[in-house]
Amino acid sequence: MEKGILKISQISKIYTLKFPLIVFILILLSFFSLFIKAESYAVATRHHLATDIGMKVLEEGGNAIDAAVAVAFALAVVNPSAGNIGGGGFMLIHLAEKNETISIDYRERAPIKSFEKMFQDSSGNVIKGLSLNSILASGVPGTVAGMFYVSEKFGTIDIKSLINPSIHLAKKGFVLSDFQAKNLNKYKKKFAKNEEAKKIFTRTNGFSEGDNFIQINLAKTLERIAKNGKNEFYSGETAKKVANFFQDNGGILTLEDLNLYKLRIQKPVCGSYRSYEICSMAPPSSGGIALVQILNILENIDLSKLNHNSEEYLKILLSAMDYAYKDRAKYLGDPDYFRVPQDLLTSKKYAYEIYQEIQENKISPKVNINIIEGEETTHFSIYDKWGNAVSNTYTLNTAYGSGIIPTGTGILMNNEMDDFSSKPGHPNTYGLIGSEANKIEPKKTPLSSMSPAIVFRDERPYLITGSPGGSTIITSVLQEILNVLDFQMSLEESSEKSRIHFQHLPDILFHEQFDGSLIESLKKEKKLINRKLGEIHSILIRKDIVEAFSDKRRPDGKASAVYK
Ligand code: DON
């Protein structure tokens, strides 16, 4: 017999001998891999203490929803610029056992006494700052309602024990990082306008790294909430303190507003992208529709054949973003008040028409308007050992919200009313314009860009992701999805890649670091502004490996993953 060549009979002999063994090993391996998968869990948040609290809940047998509730309350203490009980947000939950994905809209609602022109003077000019820094800036907060709802409905642990770590952190304090100390000092003027905010959030000589930061009134409020439940916030002592403060200080938010707060349980907006399914928030967020619309447009091109972040790639991205943001301004608002053409905007056919227009280079001319950096909001992602997933983004809107704390509560109030269109065509703080769809009306929810997302592969969570960043949230989340799905990047690799953002108006391409020749070339067509974009906290579940990553664009975040 020639060396190296096996006869058929010999092969079949080996086959007969080894086959049962191979099958046995394969069965063992697949059992083992299931076992690994079943034991994997992860948390990624904006603050290491919140991540540790979430991980502890999971370690001790809680599910992803339990961990989410504990993390949300913890961030209200350790990340006061965005974590909150005085604001609102969106939570996307995937329940593994039922193979069901739902979303909770616990965003702020306009007070009953609000009206379309409340931020305009008698000549119809928008009064600067009124929707951001005044007593009129706050919507009715939804976070406490949101956390109690998900805990009661899907949680397994008594909510009291999920709030307790936050009470402890507020009472005993936590150590400020350099970033946090400087950030607090940066907003000194904002806090100076409100007695309690000034007392808690300012120091004569400023805060320094390492200071222990205590919030006694917030601890007491959290204690009352833990003891008395959700009603404490919406009709109890806390509600009365909040309502009285607003009444005494020229506000319009009343006890009735708090009593009537209702969250919405919604079907998320889902779409397919190549072999994946992606789900994100339905209106009143623009996130789900815009993400699905952009992905539908991009699906017409094999992006993986292009060089990542090449000029060709970026131009396609910015054209798709352009169309989605144009539609956002025109068609998106609270669905209870405005008929949002969701089916059209998320259809493959509509996306294909846009794709064809892009090919013909039909981009409409635009004007430039002001836009500021979206500074705060916070996202966290959680995955548990049963395969449940939570993707949550919540906020006070800009950093520390309105900077107003109703006396005795320690609760920073949001300034989410700025997310409404104060006047058609007038840009909000993120340069976003709106129309009829997003005008102010009593009890209405302002339009949002928050886009907590879950990508599915073979009907299982594959990527759990989201970001802060105001109007840039959608495009940051989009690029995370493209990096992982089209370019097979790890989360760390993805976060190291520069991002772009384009939102139709203003006609400015926001970008991170790109090499000089690319910038020179892009400059010929667009005004460019260099700034940081997004802060992603993701979990990626690839076969049996769970990877979690917190964007290094900001310090203090932490991602932990366990796979046993
Ligand atoms: O809901 C929204 O779209 C805004 N209120 C989010 C604000 C934000 O992301 C601030 N920055 N990071």
pLDDT at 430: 87
- Please state the atom number of ligand 1 nearest to the C-alpha of residue 446: 1
Residue 32's pLDDT band (cuts 50, 70, 90):
very low
- Please state the atom number of ligand 1 nearest to the C-alpha of residue 472: 9
The CA distance from 422 to 207, in Å, is: 35
Decide if 259 is inside a domain.
no
Q: Which residues, listed in sequence order, are joined to residue 104 by a DSSP beta bridge?
A: 91, 265
Q: Contact at 8 Å (CB) between 424 and 411?
A: no
Q: What is the pLDDT averaged over residues 249-277?
A: 98
On the question of pLDDT at 375 being above 80, the answer is: no
Angle (CA) 188 192 196, round 5°: 110
| 377 assigned to active site | yes
Query: Of the candidates 387, 393, 391, 416, which has an alpha carbon nearest to the alpha carbon of residue 546?
Result: 387
Collect contacts of 209-213 with beta carbons under 8 A, ≥24 apart. Answer: 209/176, 209/177, 209/178, 209/181, 210/175, 210/176, 211/175, 211/176, 211/181, 212/173, 212/174, 212/175, 212/176, 213/173, 213/174, 213/175, 213/176, 213/180
pLDDT at 25: 55
The CA distance from 296 to 281, in Å, is: 16
Reading phi first (left if > 0) and then psi (alpha if -120 to 50, else beta), residue 211 is in beta
Q: Contact at 8 Å (CB) between 447 and 290?
A: no
Q: What is the pLDDT averaged over residues 518-540?
A: 94
Residues of 510-547 as b/e, b for ≥16 C-beta within 10 angstroms? Answer: bbbebeeeeeeebeeeeeeeeeebbbbbbbbbeeeebb
pLDDT at 374: 56
CA distances from 450 to 194, 243, 280 (A): 28, 27, 9
Mean per-residue pLDDT of the chain: 92
On the question of pLDDT at 477 being above 60, the answer is: yes
**Could you tell me which residue, 392 or 433, shows the higher pLDDT?**
392
Q: What is the phi/psi pair of residue 31, to 5°?
A: -65, -45
Q: Is 377 in the pocket of ligand 1 (CB under 6 A)?
A: yes
The CA distance from 415 to 404, in Å, is: 9
pLDDT at 421: 94
Q: Contact at 8 Å (CB) between 210 and 176?
A: yes
Cβ neighbors of 186 (< 8 A, separation 6 or more) are none
On the question of pLDDT at 8 being above 80, the answer is: no
Q: Contact at 8 Å (CB) between 140 and 258?
A: yes
Decide if 206 is inside a domain.
no
Domain that holds residue 12: 1-36
Decide if 199 is inside a domain.
no
pTM over 0.85: yes
Q: What is the pLDDT averaged over residues 173-199?
A: 98
Decide if 49 is inside a domain.
no
Q: Is 449 in the pocket of ligand 1 (CB under 6 A)?
A: yes
How far is ligand 1, taken at its centre, from the CA of residue 514, in Å?
25
DSSP three-state, residue 101: strand
Q: What is the pLDDT averaged over residues 523-546?
A: 93
Minimum mean pLDDT among 11-15, 368-372, 407-411: which range? 11-15
pLDDT tens digits, 345-367: 999 999 999 999 999 976 565 65
Residue 2's pLDDT band (cuts 50, 70, 90):
very low
Q: Give the residue carrying structure tokens 């000029």.
A: 311
pLDDT at 364: 60
Decide if 143 is inside a domain.
no
On the question of pLDDT at 119 being above 60, the answer is: yes
DSSP designation for 177: P
The CA distance from 3 to 447, in Å, is: 73
DSSP designation for 271: E
pLDDT at 425: 86
How far is ligand 1, taken at its centre, from the CA of residue 477, in Å?
13
Minimum mean pLDDT among 34-48, 97-111, 201-215, 279-293: which range? 34-48
Q: Strands, E, within 186-333: which ranges?
A: 212-213, 264-266, 269-273, 276-280
Decide if 335 is inside a domain.
yes
Q: Is 535 in the pocket of ligand 1 (CB under 6 A)?
A: no
On the question of pLDDT at 17 being above 80, the answer is: no
Mutate-to-test residue for ligand 1 from 289, 395, 415, highest number of ligand atoms within 8 A of CB: 395
Decide if 47 is inside a domain.
no
Q: Is 397 in the pocket of ligand 1 (CB under 6 A)?
A: yes
The CATH number covering residue 484 comes to 1.10.246.130
- Please state the atom number of ligand 1 nearest to the C-alpha of residue 378: 12
pLDDT tens digits, 64-97: 999 999 999 999 999 999 999 999 999 999 999 9
On the question of pLDDT at 11 being above 60, the answer is: no
Give percent above pLDDT 70 in the chain: 91
Can you spell out the DSSP letters for 372-400? ------EEEEEE-TTS-EEEEEEE-SSTT
Q: Is 470 in the pocket of ligand 1 (CB under 6 A)?
A: yes
Minimum mean pLDDT among 7-21, 231-245, 385-399, 463-477: which range? 7-21
For atom 2 of ligand 1, the residue with the nearest CA is 448
pLDDT at 4: 36
Catalytic member of 377, 393, 429, 465: 377
**Could you tell me which residue, 432 or 261, shows the higher pLDDT?**
261
The CA distance from 353 to 363, in Å, is: 13
Q: Is 450 in the pocket of ligand 1 (CB under 6 A)?
A: yes
Q: Contact at 8 Å (CB) between 50 and 83?
A: yes
Q: Is 334 in the pocket of ligand 1 (CB under 6 A)?
A: no
Q: At what angle do helices 311-331 and 348-359 cross, to 10 degrees?
A: 130
On the question of pLDDT at 371 being above 80, the answer is: no
Mutate-to-test residue for ligand 1 from 449, 535, 537, highest number of ligand atoms within 8 A of CB: 449
* N residues, the chain: 564
Q: What is the pLDDT averaged over residues 380-392?
A: 98
Mutate-to-test residue for ligand 1 from 473, 501, 536, 554, highest number of ligand atoms within 8 A of CB: 473
DSSP designation for 431: S
Q: Strands, E, within 282-401: which ranges?
A: 378-383, 389-395
How far is ligand 1, taken at its centre, from the CA of residue 132, in Å?
12
Number of domain units in the chain: 2
Q: Is 132 in the pocket of ligand 1 (CB under 6 A)?
A: no
Q: Is 448 in the pocket of ligand 1 (CB under 6 A)?
A: yes
How far is ligand 1, taken at its centre, from the CA of residue 137, in Å?
14
How far is ligand 1, taken at its centre, from the CA of residue 416, in Å?
8
The CA distance from 223 to 244, in Å, is: 20
Decide if 294 is inside a domain.
yes
Q: Is 468 in the pocket of ligand 1 (CB under 6 A)?
A: yes
- Please state the atom number of ligand 1 nearest to the C-alpha of residue 286: 3
